[in-house]
Every structure is written in structure tokens, then in C-alpha cells.
Amino acid sequence: MKVIIAEDEYYAKKMLVKLLTNIDMDITVCLEAETGKQAADYLADKDADLVITDIRMPEMDGLSLANYVEEHCPATDVVIVSGYSDFNYAREAMKYGVRYYLTKPVKPEELEKAIWDITKAREEKRRLLEKQVDRRLLQESLQYVNISGILANRALMDSFRDLCGGQLKERSYQMILLQGKQRLSREEAKKLAEFLESASDHANIQVFYFQQPDEVIAMKFDGQDELWDQKLYHRLKQELPQREIEITCGISRIYKGEELLGDAYRDCVYAINGRLLDEKTRVFEYEPELSMEQILTQQEELLVYESMMKGSYQQAETALRQFFKKCRSGSWNVYSLYSGIMQIFSVISRAYCNREASSESEEVNRYLLFSFKSDLYQFRTMEELERYMFKILENTCGSQEEKGSIIEEIKNYVSLNFRYEISLNELAAHKYFMNSSYLSRLFKSETGMNFSKYLITYRMERAKELLKNTVFKISEIADYVGYNDTSYFIHTFKRLYQMTPEQYRAQEEKR
């Protein structure tokens, strides 16, 4: 501890030096000042941990020095020493953050207690600051992952739990998911987070921004079973439509227990998918799976199938346009929409599989790769969903020259599912309904590499992003990008970039 003594009485000053020397601590007296101004001039260029000052001194008295320290050196503590035991001085000193006021002659035990108390408080402050820094780093790091990745990674889940204040186990909670019609900038996400934190009747709300799915998620906690916040709900409905960027919001049911966090997220996604059918509403509450009405009739389904078998895109397109027209004109729920989409995919798949089986003289297994939670959620407007469906229809019916546009869709699918094992053959047969050999050749032609290498490269690029921007451990990053074996992840990373993940992180930190 570096200490400045400001005392105009020579013997009183030397006595303080001696008392400090006798304390069993690492204390260095870096300045013996005769005026408060000398101490202030020293602090203007150098630092000190503690100033022990007399009240009455020439040029600048002790209270003025304490005021200077508070304004210019907030990390420095002050102890006032005076021959006056008048409480008015002590009360004045408190205005400047002075917690210790000792009267002359200074007793050794009183000075030692003050020093130990100040040291303990400084250490506690340092620990608190480190904790705040760690929390901030974790908060910044989590934006480069997503809720699904957090749920699948124990270490990331531990971090998320800590940032929620350990409340996931003890308190009821509700999840709120917000997403823009277009991608949010960091500044826009920050404004949304500030809005959520100020809009609630309850201060107990934690907000997170996740870049890759481009969503702001708020966790609202309460000790009661019922925590629906009328003020927050009202402000969301009232103010979201007024924001510059079009924002929609999905709200989950009330849960308790961190094992149900995935269910809360699913609720939010299911709720927000309602924006596809209702473009005017901004706030969607989760509704249980209601009875699903059939939008696509059997006659329309048969028409699409026959058109697909003939390779007649125009006829199939007409039926599909009729389906979307019905979606817009009727009062359907989102479950009915999803059911209708799956009907269409099932028809396309059946036609594709029958064609493939007849050409290859073997039966093709039929199942669909299209999820309510992830695939439907990626479409923020009905127009986006329509374009996607027509593209699938065109690529399945049309000529091979028309099929190049599907590569961007595959790359987008990889960006959402890179953590899992993905096979181009499986995607060809069960998601994009194309000949796998042709799709493989097309993919290599468009990207310059085969699908397997593309997936590995994409995973490693995401790993580089996490190494550069997060505080996660190498093993946590390996697991997040789809490698259960950390050693194999390191080997793959080094083979691709001629350096280990640790070396890459060190290189980026140096920059």
C-alpha cells in the first residue's frame, strides 16, 4: 500500500511514519507533504492508495485535499487526522467520502484498525469489480451463441444461470423474445434491452442479445406463481408499433425450473410465428396447439401432386398461390399454417420419391426435414415464406439450370444447424427434393468445395469468431461448434490454419 502523509507539524508527521512502519503490512510512505497542495500536485502525476492528512494546513487544508481526491483520484482513500474532536469536521469530511476521522495524538491501535478496514474494503471492492468485469465479459460472449447452443452445453448453461442470478431454479420466470423485421444493429439491440428493463413493474429482468439468430431475449423472474406484468404487456403493445424498426414479440407461458428453459424458448418461437398470418400485431402470446383446420383441400393436394409428377411447374404454382391466398384471407392459426406447409412438402416429397424410385428401380424412404421451431421461425414475413416455397417447387419441377438458387438456402441451413451432423444426401432427399449426385456437383461448382469440407470450414470459422470475441474455454467452443472430442477439434483447427486455437486466440489478443 502506497501512503501519502500530509501534515505541517514535523514531529506529528514523523510519528505517523513510525506508526505506519510498525503495522504488519506492506506499506510504503511515498510522500511526506507539508501542505495539502504538495499532496495534490503529487497525485496529479502519480498514484497512491491512501492519503493521511491533517485538517489545518497552509495553502490547502485537509478538507480541500479530501475534496480534490474524491474528484480526481476516486481509487484513493483518505483518513483525516486532527487535534480537534469537533464532530463538525468529521461530518464535513464525510461529504468527500472520508470514512475515518482520527484525533491527535493518534493511537496506534486506532490507526492500524483504520488501515486494515480500508485494506479489507479495497479488496472487497476489487473482487466486486472483477466480478462485474467477468459478468460483462460473459454477457458480451453469450451474444455470439444462441439459446439452443446454451441448452446443449453445460458450461454455457452455467454461465447463463450465473447471469440470471441463479434464479432459474428458485423462481418462476417468463421468457420474452423480440426480433426485428430486418436485422438489428448492436445499438438497436441495446435500445431494446434498455426499453425492456425500464418497461416492467418488476426490476427483476435480465436481457440478452444473440447475434446469430438476431434476437433479444428477456428473462423476467418473480417469486410468485403469477408474474404477468400488465404494465410491461401494455407498453409492449403500445410502443413496439411506434419504433423505427418493425419489432415483433413472442411471450412464453410461466415456468419454474431451468430444465424447462427450452420449453419457454419454444413457446416464444411458436408465438412469434403468428406474425406470418398477422402482420399488424406486434405482441404474440403463446397459445396451446389449438385444433388445426385443413387449409389445403384433398383436391388441391392431388392437383399439386399430379403437376409435380408431370413436371408442370405452372400448374403446381397456381395451386400453391391459391393456398397462400386462402392463408391471407382466412382467420387461421399458425398451427393450421404449419400443417398446410407440411402437407405441401409431403406432396412434393411423395412426387420426388416416386420419380427417384422409378428411375433408380428402388424405393426411396420418405420423411421431411422442416421444423416449426427453426425452419418456420427463420421467415419473418409471409412473403419470405412464399418465396422459399416457390423456390422449392421450381427447383423440384424445373430444369437443372434453375436449381442453382437452392445453394444459398443450403448455406443458410448450415448457418442454423452447423452444430449437428448434416448430410448433403439427406438434405437433397428430405428437404430440397433433388438428386443428391447432381446437388453435390452443383454445390461444389458454386462454392469451390464439397459439402463436407464446407461444413468443416464453416464450423472452424465460427470457432475463430468465438476464440476472438468470447472468454469461453477451448473445450466449450469445441463442443458448441459440434466437436465432442476437443483433441480432434484442435487437430482439425491446426490442419486448417497452421496454428492451434490457443495460438490463434493469443495472436488476436495481441492485435
What is the residue whose three cell numbers read 500530509?
6
SS3 per residue for 202-239: CCCEEEEEECCCCEEEEEEEECCCCCCCHHHHHHHHHH
C-beta separation of 391 from 383 below 8 A = no
Amino acid (1-letter code) at residue 49? D
Question: Where does a domain end: 219, 250, 285?
Answer: 285
Give the three-class secondary structure for 321. helix
Low-confidence ranges of the chain (pLDDT < 50): 225, 359-363, 400-401
pLDDT digits (tens, 9 = 90+) for 73-96: 988 999 998 876 666 776 777 778
The number of distinct structural domains making up the chain is: 4
Maximum distance among all Cα pairs of the chain, rounded to whole angstroms:
108
Same domain, 169 and 281: yes
CA 273 to chain CA centroid, nearest Å? 21
C-beta separation of 62 from 82 below 8 A = yes
Amino acid (1-letter code) at residue 218? A
pLDDT of residue 443: 93
Q: Which long-range contacts (CB under 8 A, 24 or more apart) does 299-304 make?
A: 301/343, 301/344, 301/347, 304/344, 304/347, 304/348
Buried/exposed 221-243: b ≥16 CB within 10 Å, e otherwise: bbeeeebebeebbebbeeebeee
Our CA angle for 403, 408, 414, nearest 5°, is 125
Same domain, 159 and 250: yes
pLDDT of residue 471: 92
Give the N- to C-terminal CA distance of the chain in Å, as an integer: 33
Asked whether residue 504 is assigned to any structural domain, the reply reads yes
Here the CATH number for the domain that contains residue 483 is: 1.10.10.60
What is the residue whose three cell numbers read 483518513?
79
- Cα–Cα dist 384/97, whole Å: 60
Here the CATH number for the domain that contains residue 25 is: 3.40.50.2300
Asked whether residue 447 is assigned to any structural domain, the reply reads no
Same domain, 269 and 398: no
Give the cell for residue 254.
410461466
Same domain, 191 and 324: no
Same domain, 209 and 164: yes
Nearest to 8 by CA among 28, 30, 32: 32
Asked whether residue 138 is assigned to any structural domain, the reply reads no
Same domain, 87 and 151: no
Helical packing angle, 10-21 and 108-142, nearest 10°: 60
Same domain, 147 and 279: yes
Same domain, 191 and 312: no
- Cα–Cα dist 16/7, whole Å: 9
Same domain, 462 and 427: no
pLDDT of residue 87: 62
DSSP 132-189: HHHHHHHHHHHTTS-HHHHHH-HHHHHHHHHHTTT-TTTSEEEEEEEEESSPPPHHHH
Same domain, 114 and 153: no
Give the cell for residue 409.
438456402
- Cα–Cα dist 220/208, whole Å: 12
Asked whether residue 33 is assigned to any structural domain, the reply reads yes
- Cα–Cα dist 414/412, whole Å: 5
Asked whether residue 165 is assigned to any structural domain, the reply reads yes
Question: Where does a domain end: 127, 158, 175?
Answer: 127
CA atoms within 13 A on the CB side of 219: 27
pLDDT of residue 59: 87
What is the residue whose three cell numbers read 474532536?
85
pLDDT of residue 323: 92
Asked whether residue 180 is assigned to any structural domain, the reply reads yes
pLDDT of residue 252: 94
Backbone angles phi, psi at 108, to 5 degrees: -55, -45
User: What CA–CA distances, in Å, run from 412 to 211, 379, 388, 427, 448?
Assistant: 15, 12, 12, 12, 17
DSSP tag of 381: S
Same domain, 200 and 260: yes
- Cα–Cα dist 219/257, whole Å: 13
Range of the domain at 85: 2-127
Asked whether residue 110 is assigned to any structural domain, the reply reads yes
Amino acid (1-letter code) at residue 11? Y
Same domain, 365 and 264: no
- Cα–Cα dist 357/402, whole Å: 23
Give alpha helix (H) positions in 361-485.
Answer: 382-397, 406-417, 424-430, 436-447, 451-469, 474-480
* Nearby residues of 416 by Cβ (< 8 Å), 6 or more positions away: 213, 374, 378
User: What CA–CA distances, in Å, run from 333 to 49, 267, 278, 354?
Assistant: 66, 15, 10, 32
DSSP tag of 175: E
CA atoms within 13 A on the CB side of 71: 8
C-beta separation of 410 from 432 below 8 A = yes
C-beta separation of 443 from 451 below 8 A = yes
Question: Where does a domain end: 372, 403, 436?
Answer: 436
If one counts every other C-beta atom within 10 angstroms of the C-beta of residue 494, the result is: 14
Asked whether residue 330 is assigned to any structural domain, the reply reads yes
